[in-house]
Amino acid sequence: MGKAEKDWKLELTAEQYKVLRECETERPFSGKLLYNKERGMYVCAGCRNKLFSSETKFDSGSGWPSFWDKVSEDSIETKTDRSHGMTRTEVTCKKCGGHLGHVFNDGPDPTGLRYCINSVALDFKNQED
Ligand code: FE
């Protein structure tokens, strides 16, 4: 069973809660990790699950941190999202179910994928840590 929403509200910041638990989207170009170019691991801000490596991060120009691959099969899940009059593929954390962002088919080689992820849903761990 997942954690109760009231517990998430206590653990997360208001901004993290809005994105991870209520599927909101942060303003583009507002995220702290957008221009981060350090080597390391992007983990879920809710549960620390390993999501994306710095080696797959690229500048998509979208205003959100973008990656062309997930770290492993345990990182994320996807499902169809028909909200806001669009059909998109939502990306959630496979461990805690938190909303991370969406994935599109206009990314670079070798996957052709663009994981468009809210910075506030991520924490970054330096390779040295
Ligand atoms: Fe998570």
Q: How sure is the predictor about 76, in pLDDT bands with cuts at 50, 70 and 90?
A: very high
Q: Catalytic annotation on 47?
A: no
Q: If you measure from the C-alpha of residue 86 to the centroid of ligand 1, how many angstroms do you get, rounded to a whole number?
A: 25
Contact by Cβ (8 Å): 43, 127? no
Domain ranges of the chain: 5-126
Q: If you measure from the C-alpha of residue 2 to the centroid of ligand 1, how many angstroms do you get, rounded to a whole number?
A: 11
Of 46, 42, 16, nearest to 115 (Cα)? 42
What CATH class has 5-126? Answer: mainly beta
- Given a cut of 70, whether residue 128 has pLDDT beyond it is no
Of 103, 90, 97, 17, nearest to 62 (Cα)? 103
- φ/ψ of residue 123, rounded to 5: -120, 155
Predicted TM-score (pTM) of this structure: 0.95
What share of the chain in percent tops pLDDT 70?
A: 97
- Given a cut of 90, whether residue 3 has pLDDT beyond it is no
pLDDT digit string, tens, across residues 49-68:
999 999 999 999 999 999 99
Q: If you measure from the C-alpha of residue 41 to the centroid of ligand 1, how many angstroms do you get, rounded to a whole number?
A: 14
